Amino acid sequence: AQSVSQHNHHVILSEAASLELGCNYSYGGTVNLFWYVQYPGQHLQLLLKYFSGDPLVKGIKGFEAEFIKSKFSFNLRKPSVQWSDTAEYFCAVATTINQAGTALIFGKGTTLSVSS
């Protein structure tokens, strides 16, 4: 079964610091990877996704992620964080269940706190 692990439970940064959140997934054939963000009081929103092609994918709000197949990793990065990036970040992999339909398997999430 697919699984996703996020290395950091809680990350605290100052504004303008660089961010890297780790995500590793278990191998299960074709992988499609996502990063979602949940801002305080808001619903889950898609930050970026990787389906195929260029392993460096760019998302909204200046976020990017790099898919490294050999390391089973899909780390999220941002060169300079802002206070408004304070949120919970979830890495997810799309997996097929019972040969029919798919489900998103999520990591446990990383809480990012950015101080101004």
Partner 1 sequence: KAGVTQTPRYLIKTRGQQVTLSCSPISGHRSVSWYQQTPGQGLQFLFEYFSETQRNKGNFPGRFSGRQFSNSRSEMNVSTLELGDSALYLCASSRKESNLWNEQYFGPGTRLTVT
Residue ranges binding partner 1 (CB under 8 A): 30, 32, 34, 36, 42-46, 49, 51, 90, 92, 94-98, 100-109
d(CA 91, CA 114): 19
- End-to-end alpha carbon distance in the chain: 41
Residue among 19 and 92 whose Cβ is closer to partner 1: 92
Q: How far is the CB of 36 from partner 1 (least distance, A)?
A: 8
Residue among 17 and 38 whose Cβ is closer to partner 1: 38
SS3 70: helix
Q: How far is the CB of 15 from partner 1 (least distance, A)?
A: 27
How many Cα atoms within 13 Å fall on the side-chain side of residue 37?
A: 18
Tokens of residue 68, six digits? 């490294």
Residue among 16 and 97 whose Cβ is closer to partner 1: 97
Q: How far is the CB of 21 from partner 1 (least distance, A)?
A: 15
d(CA 103, CA 82): 32
